[in-house]
Every structure is written in structure tokens, then in C-alpha cells.
Structure 1
Amino acid sequence: MNRLASATSPYLLQHADNPVDWWPWSAQALDEAKRRDVPILLSIGYAACHWCHVMAHESFEADETAAFMNAHFVNIKVDREERPDIDAVYMTATQAMTGQGGWPMTCFLTPDGKPFHCGTYYPPTPRHGMPSFRQVLTAIARAWSERADELRQGATKIVSHIQEQTAPLAQRPVDEETIATAVSTLRGQIDPGHGGFGGAPKFPPSMIMEFLLRHYERTGSAEALSVVELTAEGMARGGIYDQLAGGFARYSVDAAWVVPHFEKMLYDNALLLRCYAHLARRTSSALATRVAAETAEFLLRDLRTQEGGFAASLDADTEGVEGLTYVWTPAQLVEVLGPEDGSWAAEVFRVTEEGTFEHGASTLQLPRDPDDTARWLRVSTALLEARGARPQPARDDKVVTAWNGLAITALAEAGVALERPDWVEAAVSAAELLLDRHLVDARLRRSSRDGVVGEAAGVLEDYACLAEGLLAVHQASGEPVWLTQATLLLDTALELFADDEVPGAFHDTAADAEALVHRPSDPSDNATPSGASALAGALLTASALAGPDRAGDYREACERALGRAGTIVAQAPRFAGHWLSVAEALLAGPVQVAVVGPDAATRSGLLVEAAREVHGGGVVLAGPPEAGGVPLLADRPLVDGNAAAYICHGYVCERPVTTPQRLAAALSTPIRQ
């Protein structure tokens, strides 16, 4: 066992018995490189990563390769999910040097941590124009022994280039014209046959879908809604969605959503649950409603930890084979179901003799809902039971603060919108866990495992996503404690992560965090909201829920941050999905609905209607008038002794309504054409 044996990260533990003398990232590791005057070999990956497993088996488990690594390098292994700050710094370097990035990421650094050569996966033998890993190791070791000073100088220039390229963007307003241009651009980039954007590989565009749905709600744009519905149906009926157990894989290797890269990530499923739930409440789509419910159940069944949080991911591989748990042949269907049902299932799920995956196996798709619902339920139940007897993918059970924040938001909002109080209860349990275990001396930690919190400090997205989740729980429960805790996190984030020299800009690491060769600050949205856009969204929500003494400050901070992202929104809207969602909510007010009534029963009708009809990004909160610690309910009395709903857009409020019908009419009208 090497130095990773005591790690809490499942990914690091996967490498604990490698013959490579791995170090975790630490000052001691860098000091060792300086003492030996050798380069650092930094390998970054994550537990669910297929090609990380491949490279580990091919190279890191090979005694001869490991011996060379140990002799010529200090070898450091990093879990990108546990240390997103380190990953961000060296991913920027990798993309700058190679034009692309990914995991496993392989970087060679000077002893003080500056990168001079970066890549991703290297095969054990030369392949497809790629050098072998041993060739790369040999070349780097020789170069260091012969011209180390030249490599050090080059690394210094690379760091300077990265700092220049990642400087804060100039302010640019995000207004109606910017939004309209973004919608037009996205409409022109949509895959008209399958939904989504671009070709293969294709990733779920959850934040873009959320933005376009909000745009439709605010303006009535049928064009925006059509993009959402096309993409939502394409994914839900494809192999990227688990047709038996619910939940989405990370991405599709093809453009038609047929063959997934099989790992299931918490963040994808949280974001997609939120989006499908919002689509379901807005359109009453049976497909969206079913997918939202199944995705929520996947989170609760397969990712929920014993402590009440949510695990990071399920592995892409099972016993070293990608997709082993999930794919089927026609013969396997017949074996489980018998000839008649097996043949029917093959037709329903598009399982062919040729196969859609590898070795004649197929992923399961559902191009249309079967006419015989009872038969489909019987068949799918039998297949899921049989699949459960197969070897199962490993689970990375560390609880990541930011991703749990996304899950808390999704479960709370979906639970209210689709009237599932059990989902809200799950959100509350996760929120309690994070505040109890991850909040240490008023500062967040990045992750925990088995209830034991890790050492890595929380980054901006942790504070922002958890704050947004707590605000969602505050709305769902009406309890003031969640608002208090959320605003404390936001105040801490504003203090620790703001760029002191550039108003509206934010760093991803705290001012007192470990100093890396570059302080990361990436405002673009990718698979998850950027830390800055997540913070802007949480600030805007808080401005609609907090009292008048803080609301203005939070709104102004949101507007400054949004302006700093205006260039991304205008030039690359596909990488600004969450920013665009924030902009839509801001243009809508955001909408505030306060439902007051003496008890839950009297408020119920208005609350259900408000949750169904409120514009995306708006807030809904119900409780007795003048409930202590709940500013949204202050100065909003009953109307003639009856329950009432108060609707406001920003700082402008309408007359209260007392019937669900009038509330629906008031909320369903587009705000601006």
C-alpha cells in the first residue's frame, strides 16, 4: 500500500495498492520534489471515469512502468471532485497546451507546481498517432536531466499566459436584446432530429433547457419551448436514460442519445430532475412527469447515503467492463421473459440482433410509450429484477457539498411542484447533514464520506449551491432557520471569494485558501453552474426572500456578477446556461408569491396553484401572516379573514387574490412579449 491508503476519496483508494509510490496533493509532496530536484507527475481523475480505470490498469498497475515513475518523478494523484481547484488550474493548462482536456489528466510540473507538459490519457503502446505512456515518461525524464532550466522558464511563461487568459471579463449588460440573440443562436444550433446541441459526444444541456423554459414562461415564446420539449423527449426516450431504473448517464457517445458513457453523476441527475419537474408543472407532460419521478426515485434509492446525503456517482464500469450491468441481447430478454414477452420487449426497447452497443448487445430505448401499459410494467419489473442479480457498478459514496446543494434544490422544488412531500423531506435531511458535518467553524468543507468530513476546503460553488438549496428548503417548509443559514453562507462567500479589484468578479477559491500557481476563476457554465453563476442565482433568490435590510444588497451583487458574465452570454450562450436562467429570473422580477392563511389547509389550494404556475426562478412561500423570521410574509394580512396570495415582480406588487383561479390567471400571463 502506498500513501493513498489513508485517503477518504474512493478514487484515491482505488490506487492505494498500485506499485506507483503515489502521494496525495500536499506541501510535503512538493517539498519532496524540491529535495530530489525531479519533476512532479500529476494524475487527476475521478472514481466513475472509464478511461481513468483503463490507464490505471494498463500503466499504474504495471511494475516496470511504476518503477520508472518512482525513480524519475514525485507522483501525485488527485480526485478532481475532491479538489476542483487543483483540477481547474491544470485543466486550464492542459487545454492551453493541447487544445482539449479530459480525464484522466496527466500533467508534468516543476517542483514548485508549474506545468510544462500536459496531456490526458496515454496508451501503454503507441496507438493512433499517440505516443505510449512509457515514451512520454522517458522523454520528460531525459528533458529534465538535460535542460531543466529551459523547462522551468517555459513553465513560468505558461503560468503567466494562463493568468492573462483568465483575467476577469469587461462589463457587458445582459438585457432583452442579449437574451433574444441567445435564444436565436441556440435555436440555430439545435439538432432538429434528436434535440440537444452539437454532434457526438452529446451532453445533456440541462441549464440551457431551464433557461429556455424560463424564457417561454416569461414571454410565451413557442420557439423556446419547442427546443426544450424536443431535447427532453429525445433524452428521455434514448439509451442515455435508464429505462428500467430511472436516472441519466453522463453523456451519449453518439448524437442520437443511443449509447451512453455509463457513469451516472449526482450533478447531472439533480439538474435534470429540476428541469423535467419544471417542464412537467408547466406543460402537464406525462413523459416529463414520469421522468422527474423516476429520476427522483433513482436519487433516493441508488445515491442516497446512510447519513442522508447523496453519493457522487455510479461507476461507468462493472468489473472492468463498461455497460456490463445495463445492456441486453435478444437472447437475454427471452431468457428472462420467455419467447413471447422477450420478443415484444426487444421491439419495445429496440434491442436488435446486431446490437446498438458492443458485441451484439443493445442499450434500452423507448421510442414510444407501449399501448399495453400493464404488460410494459410487468416486463420492465422483471427485467429490473434480473438486472439486479448482475454485478453492479461501484458507487463513489463521498458526499460533495455543491452537488448535494443541487440535489437539495431539485428535490425541494420538484417535491413542491409535483406534490411529493417525501422528496422535500429528503431535501431537508440532506440539508441537515451538510450543515451538521460540512460546516466547520463557519466555513464549508468540500466533502465527507461515511459521515466523516474531509480536509479540503469548500470552493465558491459549494457555498453558492448549498445556499440555493437552503433557500429552496426555506420555501418548501416555511421554516426561517434555512433562510438564516443561507444568508450566512452568502455573506461568507461575498467576503471570501469576491475579487477585491474587479467589482462583480469572483474567484473560485477563498482568499485564505491554499495558494496554487494560479487562483482559478472560471465564470463559464459547463456540466454544472460555474461558482459565480451559482452565486448570482442564489443572491437573486435571497433578494426575493430576505428582508428589506439585505434584499437590495443581494440584488445589486447579483446584477454586478451578471454584467461581468455578459460577454460569455453574448458570444457563447451554450456555456452560459445558468447565467441566462439568472437573467430571465431577474427580468421577471423575480416573481414573488406569498401565500398567507391561518393553517395549512386554508393555504393549500393557493399554494398548489402558485407552485404550478410561478415563473421559473420565482419564489413561493406559504405560512401564517407575520410568521416570525419569514420576511416574505411580513405585512401581508388575510383578506376578509380568508387566505390570500400576494404576487410581486421585483419591487412592484399586485392586489392580493383569494382564489386559485385568479392566482393562476395572474401568473400564467406572459410578463413581456
Structure 2
Amino acid sequence: MPPKTQKHETSASNKRKHNHLFNEKSPYLQQHAYNPVDWYPWGVEAFQKALKENKPIFLSIGYSTCHWCHVMEYESFEDEEVANILNENFVSIKVDREERPDIDNIYMTVCQAMTGSGGWPLNLFLTPERKPFYAGTYFPKTERYGNPGLIAILNHISNLWKTNKVSVLASSEQIVKVLQTTVNATGGETLTEETLRHAYEQLRDNFDLLYGGFGPAPKFPTPHNYTFLLRWWKRSKDPMALEIVEKTLERMGQGGIYDQLGGGFHRYSTDEYWLVPHFEKMLYDQALLAIAYTEAYQATGKTFYANIAKGIFDYVLRDMTSPEGVFYSAEDADSERIEGKFYVWTPDEVLNILGERDSKIFCDYYDVSNEGNYDEKNVLHVDKPLTTFAKLEGINLEQLQELLNKARKKLFAVREKRIRPNKDDKILTSWNGLMIAALAKGAQALNEPKYAQGAVRAADFILNTLRQKDETLFRRYRLGEAAIPGYLDDYAYFVWGLIDLYETTFEVKYLKTALEINKQMINNFWDEKGGGLFFNGKANEQLITQIKEIYDGAIPSGNSVALLNILRLNRMTGDQNLMKMAENIIKIFAETINQYPSGYTQFLCALDFAIGPTKEIIIASEPDQKDTKLILHEIWKRFLPEKVLLLHPEKDKSIEEIVGFIREQKAINGKATAYICKNYTCNAPTNNIDKIIQLIEER
């Protein structure tokens, strides 16, 4: 059974009549099921009502852990005055952007085009045919600090619809036309190593030398910026690329954006110092940041990065994992209607738990003061390295580490008794795919079998529960129901996870399934006319337009992830049709990416792989042999983003059904033997560990 989702404190379900969201499975929609606003879910019933009653649609898009979505609900959607205006003049529709990213993508594009910005809550007014004509984000109930009030907007839109509907319809048609022109990518340009260099230079020029990250506050993690920079550092040997990564990951790991007691990262930092976060925790951030920290550990060998990655994994496996072994979506920023309340401390609270001596050291190290750094309380953070602090305090380093470890455990135990933030317990195929990839990578680099076990459980659940008989995927699972045909992200992210899981466990079923789902993705999402992959596939609802996503924002685009998947599967199987498809994707998006390469850093990770040189490593041996494990350890502990890895055991030849060329690559003299090829040119097979290390370290 999933955990009980915290009852929305103002729903008053035992007093109020429910609206049309009552039977929805989404935690976000359930939060609004007892609003006086007569909300409908997105669907035919709402559209038909709007047509029949000749009313515009008020579309409100958000998600369950969105702080300002909660604020707008408290201020407006629980307010009888606002509800009466909406119910009388509009058909109101609520959408969970995490369940329906296709709807969110289209209408967010509209909002950004109309207003120059976007965010959530996302609020739009549509014709009954779903065509937008007015858009915005958060609106207070009444005008505040120059922000228009929702009541005034509703009255204005209602009057406009009744008195000048023709101009409204004309405006909506024009918006849709503009929207449709943004879909088509064009070929004609190429992407080269210079594209990678240009992206690096843009990131370098925007780098915050003092505090890490890019640009002013608020600062977002954007982990693929750092995984790209690590690849550029390895290619170019430019030390500044590595310095940017290390400075930022160190600052983030020491900052309040990282949960110093419980592990895991909050959504973003409200300041330039990575100190005070927006406190929600998203599964995709945990996955992508775990990958970034794991790769930084592989690249540098510094245990700090390994420890942060372990903190993320421990948090996810402890607090974000269902009894079935799959991963929940998010935790809220708020508890008891106060953002961050669950996470912050006063010196007196720490003193009461730790006693005078230990609390003084703890408060000094984590900068806990009477003045506070967040509403007179304290977000825990570290402002100096542990070794420096130990010298300043005159404390033995090992004793200090032991003291702080014990103190953290004591405070964590007390914190666990507080009222927790709401947990969004829906299961998303896409975000689970990212977490599977992260755990698989962590299992390799950190030599931790429980991470692989966690990835296997999640992958098997999705394959058994969210994969249909025709091999297509569902997007969401909650309360026993698998629903909503998967989008491009669901396919691309899950294939990513399966490839990494194969390279960790060498269970052939994961590679076989990755190839099958990748094929389904191409069949369902490929644009036969223009190339590239649509976000919506043949099984998805057809909206007012189709979008091809390529921008790598908070999460990487489906096309970017799919490109690297396709390239890796090509190298693993030798299927040249996959190579042609990858070349097509690179070509059609080249012009867009060349305009501002640093906006597409996950795509550039794939481009880095495509440019090469790549390494194909085949280990001919049994997986449980001691010498096999030694070779794998040497491979896994290194930062080798250019490699693919296959295992060819004698006892189980099922890999030969997928990778035909592997048949002749066998163990020599019963010893684990490495066949290492570089850009399709193979070295002589070897079972000498020093020679293997030399070959894998060659660029």
C-alpha cells in the first residue's frame, strides 16, 4: 500500500460537497476535490459543457508540491467569491502537469510567448475548442504590488467573451498559428566539436566564481550542465571546466539546498549562496544530481562527492520508495502551511537534543544562530571545510566526524517526529527511469549492491505493471491503477535506466527490453515528415498542436536522452539503422542548438559520444569470477562516458541473440578476457589487468 497522502488541511471533505475531481487518482487533483470551484478534469465532459453553455474555459495547471499553487488555492480557489464568479461564467479545468506534461508543455509555451515568462501555477483562458487567448501564472485574489487580481481578470475576461467574442476567437486562432510554426525543426547545419566548445565558453562566461552555479539568484541545479562539463574537461583537458563543476557541486553539497540531516536536494536556491532553498524535493532532481555527483567522484576520486551521492540514494531508498520498490514523485515544501518548517532549527532546539558541548560544536559547524537565516530559524549549511573547522576548534578530525555523525542522527530522529511535508505518491515511469539509471551508476562507482537491487526492483515493477501487452508504456501508477499512455520522456528515460541496469547486472533481459522499448518509441513518436521525436505519440491524445522538445531545462528533453540511448544501443549491437536515426536527430536540431548551445547540454552529452572516439568493451567471462569482478571494478571506478560495456559468459549465451558479433569473443585460457575496441578498431584481446587499464584509459 502507498503511504497515506497528507490530508489537505483546508479540504474539509466532511463538510463540503466534492466537485468533479473526486474520482481522480492524482494527488494534486485530489487536493482540489473539495474546493467550492466546480473543477473538472481535462476531458470531453468539460469541453462539451463549455460548448453547450457557450463559456470560456479557465485552465489551471500545477502540481502537488508547488508552493505557489497552494498559495493560490488558499487565497482564491477556496474562496466563495472567486468560486461563484468561476462557476457562473467559466468551465474550470484542473490539470496535474506531472501526469499530463503534454498539456503543460503546449500551454506553457503559449504563456511564455504571450508574457515573456512562465511557471506554476499556470493559468490560461481557452475557447471551448481548447485554443488559448489569455495566459499568466500566479494571480493574487485582488491586485497586489502591481500584479493584477484574479477577480478583476475573471470579470474582464467574462465581459470580453460576452461582448466581443469575435475578437477573442480571432486572437486564439492567431496564437495557435504561431504555436504550430514552432514545431518544425530544420536541417542544413551541422554540429561539431566547435559546438561543444561554444557551449563550454557560454557556461564559463556565466559562471559565478564566488559561489558556483550560473547567473544570479534564484539558482537551479541543472545537473546536465555539470555532466556535460565533465565530458568537455575529459575531451579538452581544460582545467577550468572541472573547476566549474567542483566549485558548484561542493557549494551545493555544503549549502542549505542539500538536506544536511536527511540527504537529498531541495528544488532550487532562492539566493546566490545555495543557502536558503525552495524546500520541495523532486525525484528527478535526486536522480540527475546523484548522477552528477557520482560522475564527479569517478572523475576526481574525492570522497565528498561519493558521500553526497550516497546521501541522495539513502534518502530516496528510505523516504521515496514504495513497498513495491518503485519511487514516489515528490515531497512538498510546506508542512502545517509553512514552507520549510519541517527542516529548520533554533539553537535552543539543538541544545535540548545534544547538550551544551556538542550543541555548540554542531551550531558552529552548521551556522545555527539566534538571528537565524530563515524567518529567525536556521537552514543547516556548512560554510567551511571540515578539516579547516577541526583546526579552528582544536578538535581531532576523526573525533569531530564521529561527533557530527552522532549529532545528525539525534536531530534526524527528532525531526522524524515532526509533521512531515505532503508526499506525492504517484509513480511516474519517466522519473523512475532516471532513478534506475542513477542507482545503477551508483552501484558501479560506489561498489554498493543495494543500489543495484533497488534499481532492479523498480525496473521489474514497471515492466510488470506499466508495460502493456503490445509493449507500449503507461505513464502513471497510483492506488492500483496504471493509466495514461506514456509520452516520449517515459520511453526515453526508462530506456536510459535499462541500458545502465544491463551494464550493472549484465542480465540480458534488460538490454533486450531496452531495444524493444526503444523500437516502440521510434514507431510511436518519430516524425516521418520532419524527423526527430514528438513529445506526444500515436497513442496519446491529439492536442491543438504537436511539440518536439529539445531544450534541456530542469529535466533533459526526450530527444536529447533518446539520442544518447540510440547511439549507445548502436555501439552495443552494431545496428546501423540506429546510427542513421541518430544522425537524423543531430541534423534536424543542429540549427536550433547552434543558436545557443549551452541550453542543450544533455543533447551535447550525446553529441560528445557521437563525435567520439568511443570504446566498446566486451568482457568474456562468467560474472561471478574473481578476475571478472576485478576488471569491472577498474572500469566502473573510472569516468568513462565514451564506453559501452558488454559481458559474454560461456554458461549463458543469450547475449548472442542480440549482439551477433560477440559469438567469437571468448575467454582465453579460462581467464576473464577483455576485448576493447575504439571507434570500430579492435585491440588484441587481453586478460592482463595492467594492459586492460592502459587501454581503457587511452583517449
What TM-score do the two structures reach when normalised by structure 1? 0.96
Query: Are 2:83 and 1:58 aligned?
Result: no
Cα deviation digits, residues 208-243 of structure 1 (max 9, x gap)? 111111222334332221111111111111110011
Cα deviation digits, residues 470-516 of structure 1 (max 9, x gap)? 1111121112211121111111111111111113x221001342121
Which of 556, 559, 563 is the aligned partner of 2:580? Answer: 556
Change (3 A) 1:312 1:439: same
CA distance in 2, matches of 1:598, 1:98: 60
Which of 654, 657, 665 is the aligned partner of 1:628? Answer: 654
Query: Are 2:685 and 1:656 aligned?
Result: yes
Specify the alignment match of 1:208 in structure 2. Answer: 225
Q: How does 1:529-540 map to 2 (within 5 A)?
A: 529-540=556-567
2:198 and 2:597 in contact (8 A); partners too:
no
Runs of 4+ in 1 over 6 A off after TM superposition: none
Q: How does 1:193-272 map to 2 (within 5 A)?
A: 193-272=210-289
Specify the alignment match of 2:307 in structure 1. Answer: 290
Cα deviation digits, residues 145-198 of structure 1 (max 9, x gap)? 111111011000001111113321434322111112221221111111111111
Specify the alignment match of 1:593 in structure 2. Answer: 617
Specify the alignment match of 1:528 in structure 2. Answer: 555
Specify the alignment match of 2:627 in structure 1. Answer: 602
Q: Structure 2: which amino acid aligns with 1:406?
A: L
Q: How does 1:327-406 map to 2 (within 5 A)?
A: 327-365=344-382, 367-369=384-386, 371=397, 372-406=400-434
Query: Are 2:533 and 1:501 aligned?
Result: no
Query: Are 2:590 and 1:573 aligned?
Result: no
2:298 and 2:639 in contact (8 A); partners too:
no
Following superposition, the deviation at residue 366 of structure 1 comes to 5.3
Cα deviation digits, residues 60-100 of structure 1 (max 9, x gap)? 01112111111110000000000000000100000011000
CA distance in 2, matches of 1:663, 1:193: 41
SS at match of 1:556: helix
CA distance in 1, matches of 2:191, 2:622: 41
Change (3 A) 1:122 1:63: same
2:353 and 2:411 in contact (8 A); partners too:
yes
CA distance in 2, matches of 1:380, 1:226: 30
Specify the alignment match of 2:52 in structure 1. Answer: 35
CA distance in 2, matches of 1:50, 1:181: 36
Specify the alignment match of 1:16 in structure 2. Answer: 33
Following superposition, the deviation at residue 299 of structure 1 comes to 1.1
Specify the alignment match of 1:45 in structure 2. Answer: 62
Cα deviation digits, residues 307-336 of structure 1 (max 9, x gap)? 211001011111211000101122222122
Specify the alignment match of 2:165 in structure 1. Answer: 148
SS at match of 1:18: coil
Cα deviation digits, residues 375-421 of structure 1 (max 9, x gap)? 11111111111111111111101111111000011111110121111
Following superposition, the deviation at residue 200 of structure 1 comes to 0.9
Specify the alignment match of 2:509 in structure 1. Answer: 481
2:224 and 2:601 in contact (8 A); partners too:
yes
Following superposition, the deviation at residue 48 of structure 1 comes to 0.8
Q: Structure 1: which amino acid aligns with 2:557?
A: S
2:433 and 2:490 in contact (8 A); partners too:
yes
Change (3 A) 1:460 1:599: closer
Q: Structure 2: which amino acid aligns with 1:556?
A: K
CA distance in 2, matches of 1:298, 1:544: 34
CA distance in 2, matches of 1:567, 1:302: 43
2:486 and 2:540 in contact (8 A); partners too:
no
Specify the alignment match of 2:476 in structure 1. Answer: 447
Change (3 A) 1:612 1:360: closer
Q: Structure 1: which amino acid aligns with 2:92?
A: N
SS at match of 1:239: coil
Query: Are 2:115 and 1:98 aligned?
Result: yes
CA distance in 1, matches of 2:691, 2:245: 28
What TM-score do the two structures reach when normalised by structure 2? 0.93
Specify the alignment match of 2:643 in structure 1. Answer: 618
Following superposition, the deviation at residue 448 of structure 1 comes to 0.5
RMSD after superposition: 1.6
Specify the alignment match of 1:639 in structure 2. Answer: 668
Q: Structure 2: which amino acid aligns with 1:606?
A: I
CA distance in 2, matches of 1:200, 1:599: 48
CA distance in 2, matches of 1:366, 1:7: 45
Following superposition, the deviation at residue 633 of structure 1 comes to 4.2
CA distance in 2, matches of 1:247, 1:541: 29
SS at match of 1:5: coil
CA distance in 2, matches of 1:413, 1:449: 27
2:267 and 2:280 in contact (8 A); partners too:
yes
1:307 and 1:451 in contact (8 A); partners too:
no
CA distance in 2, matches of 1:451, 1:590: 43
CA distance in 1, matches of 2:680, 2:480: 43
CA distance in 2, matches of 1:393, 1:86: 27
CA distance in 2, matches of 1:272, 1:362: 20
Following superposition, the deviation at residue 568 of structure 1 comes to 4.1
Q: Structure 1: which amino acid aligns with 2:77?
A: F
SS at match of 2:21: helix
